[in-house]
Homo-oligomer: A and B are copies of this chain.
């Protein structure tokens, strides 16, 4: 994983401005785990807009999307995904414009905060379907999001090669 620079209050600040990663607790139980996601008293919580889930079947890719208002707070309780984030905000002094993360239990059960203004997409990298939980700060409104084709050359990332394209 590229670009983590700072750990404050258990929150990993990344080199993409306002993108952060918070390790989440899995409370093991023979009957099935309890998995933390988001509390109203968490440092990263601002407001509740909508909770929804996104399933991704093996090898499928859901990309690219950018919100203009909504902040995403996502975690992966089932399966594994690769999450790719691309920052084209010229006004920020970003160090990295591309971030590639693998999310899923047990080693990467984390909440990732993606602010508006950043492109992101994800693919399922587990053998069975992955499930993403999102607690966004605004309810879904189609007019506030932008889409680009999964292979749009504007975004310098190859899903097939899983690497940055220069």
Contact = CB atoms under 8 A, between A and B. Distances in A.
A40 B48 contact: yes
Contacts of A61: 31
Interface residues of A, number: 36
A53 B34 contact: yes
Give the copy number: 2
Given A35-B55, A77-B131, 15 more contacts: A30-B60, A31-B60, A31-B61, A32-B54, A35-B52, A36-B52, A37-B52, A37-B53, A38-B50, A38-B51, A39-B140, A40-B50, A51-B51, A55-B77, A78-B131
B37 A51 contact: yes
A107 interface: no
10 contacts: A30-B57, A32-B124, A33-B54, A35-B55, A40-B50, A51-B133, A55-B77, A78-B131, A131-B131, A133-B133
A39 to B, nearest CB: 4
Interface string A41-72: 10000011111111111001110000000000
A34 B56 CA distance: 9
A24 to B, nearest CB: 9
A31 to B, nearest CB: 4
A12 interface: no
A32 B52 contact: no
Contacts of A31: 56-57, 60-62
